[in-house]
Chains A and B, each alone.
Chain A
């Protein structure tokens, strides 16, 4: 089977958006779920959270950052090219219900999976406050889209080039210390950011949900490669998650397991670059 890339755009340096033709996946997709793709016969299977989907047009939107071999190879593909495999939707959907005021926190490329959740929370009548962050202004994605689905949008950049000068956690703390009652916080981004958010919200007794991103192979619960420790119990993120209560997550284990193949990932990228030629931008 083949899955056509119907649109591709670069959002900011190293971050790309793709719409993939996959009508069955689009029809079944819900916020919080993810897909697994494989570029070609020699390719590995990588998980990416669903950033959006269009049931009528039959496509699923993914947003990814160039990190290693597979994402760099993916970044070089163009509209009209085809992916060998595109499996989904996988994982449990977010539990989106009417609860009052929800704060959605997206860090870096993690803003992408936050977007459909913000929209869904708003559509059923919640007040949505969104906090998005990046290292600097030029790396901030989906600001306009997030603004359109939020009652209030706050921006943080590490270098202060836009919005609050500092981390998204500072803004989370400000909100929690403010007068407004916050009913739930959803934070998605690098593990270090999610751990920091968990640390900030812990003393406040506000439900905090994070979306975990461990290494995955099949994504259907048959291997346990994605296992995480949730409140002392082993869970498979691909079927039991990927969303969990932040206070129960063993982030140290998650981060250590994410680093398992660092050496092999470098080797794979080096091999790829060597085969790419001198004029290639991945050099």
Chain B
């Protein structure tokens, strides 16, 4: 059995000096060879693993014929953001995990093939889609992250008049402000957003629901509302020194770098502190993105400080490997206890304590326990806190009746319906911080629900 085609990448010693994309994508020859490996199962497991159920054997068989135009057509029937998903989905836990070839050999690189088709189409110039006949119904989408964009595109395709409200000055949510350019070029996100607008959806940026208008007002003005407001409120640790100069939330650090292009300062106006010793607290994808960005901003030493061990790191394996190749140091089983103050109330180091893993907790993961007397200081001038986020409550300001959990997430039923009639929600706003593709799945589900509701 032939093995999978590896994707060319920028070498680590080069890429740490730029923000250009690390993974370079398949050549046509590679894409064809990889597509050939697919067995085109009669009951394809891979499709079950895809949260938006792309007809994977369907598009791969078109690729085998060299018909990339039809291949992307198959993908776009169920997925409006293929260039994004092909890049950032954790395929190893989804479609590729269930690929039958993976049992004895390596699974098909479905993500890379999806990416190839999307990139190929974009390079050739995306054709304008046919706009659906209007149903006369108005739907408001609050938030333009992966959930909102997916819901918006499906509802626009169904012929509803869709208006997307975005608080920031660009649409895309975490795709724009969170995931760095070197993993997901922003020009790609922009084009995918433009495609959704070509389907007939309207976009209002600089528009903060909860401030300009309340949710109650939206309910009056629209026939249905989808809340895809994400989990954008950063968590801090609550330790001493957390407000010192040089301590960032990962959200702030990444927003400055990605959305505001601070890595191009002073050509772009937004500054960022470039440290020589950077500590990133946390072990998820956001922590990897922050660490790798700090490295590219010229830090001599960047460390990940994580309280569990390598096995429990929540980030994608691929991102962890990329980070290691780029010289990021992993200080595992380590937890910050306070941030030390230097001159002018700025960071001068982090005092950490060693941890060991005890019994599993209610989440099934082994609980880290501090080793008494193991405190030690790590040099640092920048500290980035990447220990997670929770939903931002600003959306609820001035609105009544939306049921939320004690953690601030919106309560929905399995169809995505909230406690308010005609209001659906999905993505991180419901689940807390999760993945791009699960948010897209939720957006898709909510769009179906809204469509049914509006057809009654």
Q: Which residues of A contact B (CB under 8 A)?
A: 1, 24-25, 28, 38, 42-45, 69-70, 84-90, 217-218, 220-225, 227, 229, 234, 239, 252-253, 256-257, 259-261, 264-265, 267-268, 271
Asked if B243 and A227 make an inter-chain contact with CB atoms under 8 angstroms apart, the answer reads: yes
Contact of B345 among A87, A88, A222, A253 (CB under 8 A): A253
Contact A261 B271, CB 8 Å, known A24-B212, A224-B251, A268-B265: yes
Which of B167-220 touch A at CB < 8 Å?
A: 167-169, 204-208, 211-213
Which residues from B are CB-within-8-Å of A217?
Answer: 252, 255-256, 260, 270
Question: What is the distance, in angstroms, from A9's C-beta to the closest C-beta of chain B?
Answer: 25
Contact of B255 among A86, A218, A227, A267 (CB under 8 A): A218
30 contacts between A and B (CB under 8 A): A1-B204, A24-B213, A28-B211, A28-B212, A28-B213, A42-B269, A44-B260, A44-B268, A44-B269, A70-B269, A85-B169, A85-B205, A85-B206, A87-B206, A87-B208, A217-B256, A217-B270, A218-B255, A221-B393, A222-B234, A224-B249, A224-B251, A224-B252, A227-B243, A229-B243, A234-B242, A253-B243, A253-B345, A256-B344, A268-B265
Q: Which residue of B lies closest to A250 (CB)?
A: B243
The interface size bin for chain B is: 35 or more
Which residues from B are CB-within-8-Å of A239?
Answer: 394
Question: With an 8 A cutoff between CB atoms, is B236 at the interface?
Answer: yes
Q: B229-251 CB contact bits vs A (8 Å, 1 = yes)?
A: 00011101000001101101101
Contact A268 B269, CB 8 Å, known A87-B208, A221-B392: yes
Question: With an 8 A cutoff between CB atoms, is B267 at the interface?
Answer: yes
Which residues from A are CB-within-8-Å of B246?
Answer: 260
Cα A45 to Cα B267 in complex, Å, equals: 15
Question: What is the distance, in angstroms, from B358's C-beta to the closest C-beta of chain A?
Answer: 30
Which residues from B are CB-within-8-Å of A265?
Answer: 271
Question: What is the distance, in angstroms, from A54's C-beta to the closest C-beta of chain B?
Answer: 16
Question: With an 8 A cutoff between CB atoms, is B322 at the interface?
Answer: no
Cα A25 to Cα B236 in complex, Å, equals: 31
Q: Which residue of A lies closest to B385 (CB)?
A: A224
Q: Which residue of A lies closest to B271 (CB)?
A: A264
Q: Which residue of A lies closest to B268 (CB)?
A: A42
Question: With an 8 A cutoff between CB atoms, is B266 at the interface?
Answer: yes
Question: What is the distance, in angstroms, from B381's C-beta to the closest C-beta of chain A?
Answer: 12
Which residues from B are CB-within-8-Å of A84?
Answer: 169
Cα A69 to Cα B246 in complex, Å, equals: 22
Q: Which residue of A lies closest to B344 (CB)?
A: A256
Question: With an 8 A cutoff between CB atoms, is B273 at the interface?
Answer: yes
Asked if A268 and B205 make an inter-chain contact with CB atoms under 8 angstroms apart, the answer reads: no
Q: Which residue of A lies closest to B398 (CB)?
A: A28
Question: What is the distance, in angstroms, from B147's C-beta to the closest C-beta of chain A?
Answer: 16
Chain B interface main SS type: loop
Asked if A45 and B260 make an inter-chain contact with CB atoms under 8 angstroms apart, the answer reads: yes
Q: Which residue of B lies closest to A267 (CB)?
A: B266
Q: Which residue of B lies closest to A220 (CB)?
A: B167
Which residues from B are CB-within-8-Å of A259?
Answer: 245, 344
Which residues from A are CB-within-8-Å of B344?
Answer: 256, 259
Which residues from A are CB-within-8-Å of B236?
Answer: 224, 234
Contact A256 B251, CB 8 Å, known A217-B260, A218-B167: no
Cα A253 to Cα B246 in complex, Å, equals: 13
Q: Which residues of B contact A (CB under 8 A)?
A: 167-169, 204-208, 211-213, 232-234, 236, 242-243, 245-246, 248-249, 251-252, 255-256, 260-261, 265-273, 344-345, 392-394
Which residues from B are CB-within-8-Å of A225?
Answer: 248-249, 252
Question: What is the distance, in angstroms, from A265's C-beta to the closest C-beta of chain B?
Answer: 7
Q: Which residue of B lies closest to A269 (CB)?
A: B266
Cα A267 to Cα B266 in complex, Å, equals: 7
Cα A229 to Cα B246 in complex, Å, equals: 16
Asked if B252 and A69 make an inter-chain contact with CB atoms under 8 angstroms apart, the answer reads: no
Cα A69 to Cα B270 in complex, Å, equals: 11
Contact of B234 among A28, A38, A223 (CB under 8 A): A223
Asked if B212 and A69 make an inter-chain contact with CB atoms under 8 angstroms apart, the answer reads: no
Quick one: which of A84, A87, A89 has the most chain B CB within 10 A?
A: A87
Q: Which residue of B lies closest to A90 (CB)?
A: B211
Quick one: which of B168, B208, B344 has the most chain A CB within 10 A?
A: B208
Question: What is the distance, in angstroms, from B219's C-beta to the closest C-beta of chain A?
Answer: 17
Quick one: which of B233, B236, B248, B273 has the most chain A CB within 10 A?
A: B233
Q: Which residue of B lies closest to A255 (CB)?
A: B345
Cα A203 to Cα B269 in complex, Å, equals: 43
Which residues from A are CB-within-8-Å of B261?
Answer: 42
New contact pairs (5) apart from A87-B169, A264-B271, CB-CB < 8 Å: A87-B206, A218-B167, A222-B232, A253-B243, A260-B273
Asked if A222 and B266 make an inter-chain contact with CB atoms under 8 angstroms apart, the answer reads: no
Contact of B271 among A25, A28, A38, A268 (CB under 8 A): A268
Question: What is the distance, in angstroms, from A25's C-beta to the closest C-beta of chain B?
Answer: 7
Question: What is the distance, in angstroms, from B210's C-beta to the closest C-beta of chain A?
Answer: 9
Contact A220 B392, CB 8 Å, known A24-B207, A87-B208, A260-B245: yes
Cα A224 to Cα B204 in complex, Å, equals: 24
Cα A43 to Cα B271 in complex, Å, equals: 11
Contact of A220 among B208, B252, B268, B273 (CB under 8 A): B208
Asked if B168 and A218 make an inter-chain contact with CB atoms under 8 angstroms apart, the answer reads: yes
Q: Which residue of B lies closest to A264 (CB)?
A: B271
Asked if A234 and B394 make an inter-chain contact with CB atoms under 8 angstroms apart, the answer reads: no
Cα A226 to Cα B362 in complex, Å, equals: 35
Contact A1 B205, CB 8 Å, known A84-B169, A222-B233, A256-B344: yes
Question: What is the distance, in angstroms, from A233's C-beta to the closest C-beta of chain B?
Answer: 10
Cα A223 to Cα B384 in complex, Å, equals: 12
